[in-house]
Amino acid sequence: MWLYLATLVGLYYLLRWYRERQVVSHLRDKYVFITGCDSGFGNLLARQLDLRGLRVLAACLTEKGAEQLRGQTSDRLETVILDVTKTDSIAAATKWVKEHTGDKGLWGLVNNAGISLPTAPNEWLTKQDFVKVLDVNLLGVIEVTLYLLPLVRKARGRVVNVSSVLGRINLYGGGYGISKYGVQAFSDSLRRELSHSGVKVAIIEPGYFKTPVTDPELIFRSFQETWNRASPEVKEIYGEKYFASSMKMIGSLEKCTQDLSLVTECMEHALTARHPRTRYSAGWDAKLLYIPMSYMPTVLSDAVIHWIAPRPAKSV
């Protein structure tokens, strides 16, 4: 019995390996639009796809970021300035993409732009703190997708949305985890709606990687600012020890995985494979810790988080 089961499992993985090695044809004729290309995953993916020969349309937030990217890539790569929180900017970028793609349509849309700050216990934050993150990480993803989806449909292409392991199991307060849960839900509904149109939707779920989004110095500064403006009652509940322990945990982010290609290779596969996966997890922490925790009974996952997380000075 066990031999038959092992054989079936082996055949399944062999078949999956074979299917996932099949590559889409005529990649050099395909256009891919990527948001958030100033740095991090988006920047590396743009350079990676440019080397692969695809026609990359890279959206950057700043002209400085766009100029630096153009200096590192071939003449095929084109850049545009895009603020995903502004409808006018998205509309202008959409018009620009239409002019470049013509009748071919847009093969790939990669919603990569994102921010993580401010991050702190929810009681330390204001509504505007949540809105700031949700505007970029969730509403920006939705609006960019809605504007560009007709072009993706024309090419029967791909939508690749960057979520996070925190879109499965959230570990701390603020808008980041909420936004990534939202990206998961939006991607799931979009995938089902487009399943008969030839458009495929993939979700990327990175663990912790060292990027500008997880820069410990910026997180330190943001955490300090939210603590400073917290009410005296909240500070008394949490205490200086909680603050110091949290800052120590933030410092441990310096040890995050630095090999961003683990993420961009997942993105590239989602764009170039004939049979892309629905979800891609990147990083051993995602595969061995966070995603398994998300399948645990809530009482167990909560116990693990309570064990490793700082505790407020007062419980009542």
The three-state secondary structure class of 206 is strand
Question: Phi and psi (nearest 5°) for 56?
Answer: -95, 130
Q: Catalytic pick from 4, 13, 172, 176?
A: 176
| CA 132/CA 117 separation, integer angstroms | 8
Active site residue 176: yes
Q: Which helix (H) or strand (E) holds 187?
A: helix 175-193
Do the beta carbons of residue 249 and residue 241 sit within 8 Å?
Answer: no
Neighbours of 260 (CB within 10 A): 20
Q: Which of 50, 221, 13, 240 is nearest to 119 (CA)?
A: 221
Lookup: tokens for 209: 């990687």
Instruction: Compute and round to an integer the Cα radius of gyration of the chain.
Output: 21
* Conformational region of residue 105, where left means phi above 0, alpha means psi within -120 to 50, and beta covers everything else: left
Q: Which of 183, 55, 10, 96 is nearest to 46 (CA)?
A: 55
| CA 271/CA 266 separation, integer angstroms | 9
Catalytic residues: 176
